[in-house]
Amino acid sequence: MISGRDTRFVLDFPLMIFLLLSTVFFPIQSFHFIMSVLNHNHVIPLSSSSSAIFAKNTFTGVRTQIVSVSSKKAGVCKCIGRRKAAHMLKYPDAQVISLGIGDTTESIPEVITSAMAKRALGLSTIEGYTGYETKQGEKQLRAQLASTFYSNLGIEEDDIFVSDGAKSDISRLQVLFGFNVTMAVQDPSYPAYVDSSVIIGQTGEFQKDIQKFGNIEYLKCTPENDFFPDLSKVSRTDIIFFCSPNDPTGSAASREQLTKLVNFAKDNGSIIIYDSAYAMYVSGDTPKSIFEIHGANVTAPDPV
CATH code (residue 220): 3.40.640.10
In this predicted model, what pLDDT tens digit does every residue of 244-293 receive, in sequence order? Answer: 999 989 999 999 999 999 999 999 999 999 999 999 999 899 999 999 99
In this predicted model, what pLDDT tens digit does every residue of 197-241 receive, in sequence order? Answer: 999 999 999 999 999 999 999 999 999 999 999 999 999 999 999
Q: How many CB atoms lie within 10 A of CB 273?
A: 26
Report pLDDT for 36.
Answer: 45
| Strand intervals (E) in 9-80 | 9-10, 46-47, 52-53
In a domain, 122, yes or no: no
The parent domain of residue 241 ranges over 9-70+136-292
In a domain, 99, yes or no: no
In a domain, 238, yes or no: yes
In this predicted model, what pLDDT tens digit does every residue of 103-113 receive, in sequence order? Answer: 788 999 999 99
Flag whether pLDDT at 5 surpasses 60. Answer: no
* Dihedral pair phi/psi, residue 239, rounded to 5°: -120, 140
Amino acid at 249: T
Q: How many domains does the chain have?
A: 1
In this predicted model, what pLDDT tens digit does every residue of 54-70 receive, in sequence order? Answer: 434 444 444 434 444 44
Flag whether pLDDT at 133 surpasses 70. Answer: yes
What's the mean per-residue pLDDT of the chain? 77
In a domain, 34, yes or no: yes
In a domain, 75, yes or no: no
Gap between the Cα atoms of 291 and 154, Å rounded: 8
Report pLDDT for 77.
Answer: 59
Provide the β-strand partners of residue 9.
46
Inter-CA distances, 98 with 101, 168, 240, 245, 250, Å: 8, 25, 28, 21, 17
